[in-house]
Every structure is written in structure tokens, then in C-alpha cells.
Amino acid sequence: MLPQFILRLSLYNSIVISMALWLSSCQTTPAPPPECTLPQTTGVKQAFTHTRKELSRSECHFRFDAYFDRLLDTAAGDPNPQHSEHFSEFLIWANSQDIITRRNAEEYYNRYFNAKFVSLPNEYSNCAYTCRMKDEIVHNMKEELRQKDKGLLKIMANKRAYARANSLHDSILTVLEATCTACAISR
């Protein structure tokens, strides 16, 4: 009797243990998160809608730059002066969703859609700081002018605004060169 009982008990135990092992191996693996896809459409409104939907997920926030570049390319395919308004609203929305800071939003907007330059430093005087970093600033301004070419000219089709940016770029560089030459003489 006793050995039979022990046999049954061990049989039950083994069945229970097996079932427990089997159940633990069948735990649900979480489904992989959907990829953060860039908008593929050529329509600007659809591109913005898709981007807002994707960026609403926190796991896509790190791709903000890629999304913004794609939006720029899409808008360049359909030039319209009202695009600056769309981009402004999008950046304000992104800031409200804590995807980017207010300063970042201003920088993105003004780089592409304002004739003024954000690459210029504002912390210290020209003699003390700007002139020591002149080469870097000149390089940054050239890069920013290319961005304004894309924003003002290709996206907004605003030749006047781009001409103003171009002229401001030349004027700033001329005045900086003169100022830095004068600063260097005093050293």
C-alpha cells in the first residue's frame, strides 16, 4: 500500500511540476513596439498628421530631428508661404508635449523661417568672445544660410526674405571682420 501511495504521490508531483514548468514557459512575451516610421506621403498636411501621431509616443521622441527633416523635405516639394505657419504650430505643439524645449522650438523655427541668424552668440562682447571664435561663427552662419535657403526660398518661396537674409549675412560678416580687426590691434 505504502509504496503505491508513494508512487502515486510522486506521479502527481511530477505532473504538477511539469505543468508548472510548461505554464511558466508559456508566459506571454510582449509584442515588439511598433517602429517609429517616417511619413512617406508627399502631402504636407498628411505628413504633419502622421508625424504628430508618431511623436505622441514617447519611444519616438528621440527621432524628432529625423521627423523634422522629413517634414522639411516634404514641404519643399510643395512650396507655399503658409508652410511657416504649419511649422510654427507643429513646433509649439512639440513643446507642449515636452518633446522639445521652448528654446529648441525657437531655434528650429528661426533657423529656417526667419531672416535673422541664431548662430550668433549673445553671452559676451565681441572683442572678448566672438572674435576668438570667429572662424567657427562664420562657418555656422554659412550653414544657417543654407538652412534659410531651404526654409525661406524652397519651402516658402519667399525670395525677398531670403535676399534679406543673404544681405544680412554679408553685412554681419563685414562688420564682424572690421570689429575683430580693430579688437586685434588693441591686444
Partner 1 sequence: MTSILGIFLAFGIFFARSLAIPPVIAARPPITKNPPLKEVVVNPNNPIVSQNPKLFQISVLLQFFWGGVLSSILLFWNSFAVGAQPPTIRLFPTTVIENVKEAGQVARDMEISLQDVIADMEQQWKLYQESKCEGYEGDEGCSQISQQMGNKYLEMLSLMDSQLPQIEHSVQATIDSLENRLRQELGQKLTARDLQEVLVSETASDNQLSNRKSRRHSSGRLSERFRQYYNLVLQASSHTGGNSVALAAADIYLDSKEVLELIQLTQGEINRARLMIELRNQFGSVTPEMHEVVTGVKKILLGEKDMATAYETLPPAGTFPEEYQSPLKF
Give least dist CB 90 to partner 1, A: 11
Q: How far is the CB of 155 from partner 1 (least distance, A)?
A: 13
Binding span for partner 1 by CB under 8 A among 36-44, 48-56, 70-78, 168-176? 168-176
Q: How far apart are the C-alpha atoms of 84 and 35, rounded to whole Å?
A: 28
Taking the least distance from each CB to partner 1, the nearer of 73 and 106 is: 106
DSSP 121-177: --SS-TTTTGGGGHHHHHHHHHHHHHHHIIIIIIIT--HHHHHHHHHHHHHHHHHHH
Pick the binder of partner 1 from 44, 100, 137, 153 (CB under 8 A).
137
Closest to partner 1 by CB, 15 or 133? 133
CB 38 within 8 A of CB 70: yes
- Pick the binder of partner 1 from 22, 24, 28, 123 (CB under 8 A): 123
Q: Which of 73, 70, 66, 71 is nearest to 88 (CA)?
A: 71
Tell me if 140 contacts partner 1 by CB under 8 A.
no
Phi/psi zone of residue 93: left (φ > 0), alpha (ψ -120 to 50 degrees), beta? alpha
Among 61, 63, 114, 132, which residue interacts with partner 1 (rule: CB under 8 A)? Answer: 114
Which parts of 49-108 interact with partner 1 (CB under 8 A)?
A: 81-82, 84-85, 88, 91-92, 105-106
